[in-house]
Amino acid sequence: METITASQINIQALFEKQQQYAPELANTTATERIARLNRLIQFMDDEQEMQGLKDAMYQDFRKAEVEVMLSEIAVVRSHALHARRELRRWMRPHKVPTPITLLGTTSYIEYEAKGVSLIISPWNYPFNLTFSPLVYAIAAGNTAIIKPSELTPYTAAFMAKAIKKLFSEEEVALLEGDASLATALLELPFDHIFFTGSPQIGKIVMAAAAKNLASVTLELGGKSPAILDASAAIDTLSYNLAWGKCLNNGQTCIAPDYVLVHESKMDAFVGAFEKSLKRLYTDLPSLESNPDYCRIVNHRHYLRLRRLYDDAISKGALELLGGTWNEAELFVPPTLLGNISDDMAIMEEEIFGPILPVLPFSSQEEVVQIIRKRPKPLSLYIGARNRRFINYIMANTSAGGTVINDYMLGFGNPNLPFGGVNNSGIGKYMGFHGFVAFSNEKAVVKRNFGTLSVLFPPYTPKVKALMAFVQRRLL
């Protein structure tokens, strides 16, 4: 498909159109915003429209229909339904306590739209990670310009048609284009930028936002560890882990990136993982023809995974489980690698594919030491029955979110904030936290009676004595 460059789009005119409309949209009622959310919900309830999405995602990287329904449509729909249900409550002024020193006043928080927002979405879950933040931009009363990834062109084209059908361009507009379009958009003075992607590009986005002092939400990634303690239910967790690692062919920001297995359970884990793959995909030798197993998005990412694999093998890694790669088909089989060392690139870069390094450990202290060597992850997975072990890991590591005795659930509850910490992200969203991400929390203090004038100049001995009393007794 042809890629549109920034020079072919008058983005300045579009930005100014949204900038002029933003104050009107900011003053919309909950009923009006809910009507916009309903457009999205009705669109996702249209089976014919969603079949178009499934077809587009199959063309982009052979994503199975059930995976599209589970990880794309169902997620966005749950966000939209939750926002529709809670929006009136979210929009109400939130009263907060007032200290005695401000006697005679009331204090509350009002949530006002930030204005014109930019959503830059990735290729790995293109519908989910475009429309989920859009739900919250709409709920908070913002306009939005969307730049989806050019690496999934069929899905981007589908979303462009959908946005044109659902919204006027002064409300929401989606622009298809290459990296030059993203660069041009980042030069504009947006009020908020929501970016999902790699930490490397996240730094570029944040630097661009700083030039206009725009607020940012950066949903990044990193190396999310999975831990299997000696007390873990190895068979069950290996099955769930195999699903989480192979979902979308491992191209998931919260996918387990490497697994730390207690040394006493290493052989059991490898055996259980192989059995789990056979349960998921029936016959591993013919996995390449299995319609339930996704593909790597493009040739460049395939070669990147091959480089990581070859580098690890050349430095002594052992293939504990694997298969034949097919470059023409962009097919990478589920692969377990053992005998891993820190000098391997696969332990430095986020893998974003179905390769899983396996590292043994002997103590909880060793687990913490291994995790702390790397930037703070987006997700941390702890598999254990031992409550003391779980508490120790929780207390001595930091991550954007933690899942205990399961995988990939961090995105499943809209009542929980989702996001990273430091290298894995800045800011949170989902549910109320998503509404807040696109809102300015405006502090309001209202004087009802009284005054602070007793502390105004001139600072007589009486005023000084009163101030001393306030400082000593009331503060």
Please list the active-site residues: 219, 253
237, 265 Cβ separation under 8 angstroms: no
Give the chain's largest Cα–Cα span. Answer: 90
- What does the alpha-carbon distance between residue 73 and residue 130 come to, in Å, rounded to a whole number? 11
Q: Rounded to the nearest 5°, which phi and psi values hold at 318? A: -115, 135
- What does the alpha-carbon distance between residue 468 and residue 470 come to, in Å, rounded to a whole number? 5
Other beta carbons less than 10 A from residue 398's beta carbon: 15
Which amino acid, 136? Answer: Y
Cα dihedral sign, 152-51-278-409: positive
Q: For residue 322, list its beta bridge partners.
A: none
Which amino acid, 357? Answer: P
How many CA atoms within 13 Å lie on the side-chain side of 179?
3
What is the chain's alpha carbon radius of gyration, rounded to the nearest angstrom?
A: 25
Cα dihedral sign, 75-224-437-169: negative
228, 237 Cβ separation under 8 angstroms: yes
State the residue for tokens 């589908």. 158
- What does the alpha-carbon distance between residue 273 and residue 289 come to, in Å, rounded to a whole number? 21
Q: What angle do CA 288, 293, 297 make, to 5 degrees?
A: 95
Q: What are the distances in angstroms from CA 228 to CA 113, 232, 332, 402?
A: 44, 6, 25, 14
Using left for φ > 0, alpha for ψ between -120 and 50, and beta otherwise, residue 405 falls in left
| Cα-Cα end-to-end distance for the chain | 65
The pair of three-digit structure tokens given for residue 112, joined into one six-digit string = 């006002």
The pair of three-digit structure tokens given for residue 47, joined into one six-digit string = 């089976």
State the residue for tokens 């749950």. 78
Which amino acid, 41? Answer: I
- The DSSP symbol for 254 reads T
Chain centroid offset of residue 422 CA: 13
195, 217 Cβ separation under 8 angstroms: yes
- What does the alpha-carbon distance between residue 77 and residue 81 come to, in Å, rounded to a whole number? 6
Q: What are the distances in angstroms from CA 439 to CA 4, 136, 144, 192, 367?
A: 32, 9, 13, 9, 39
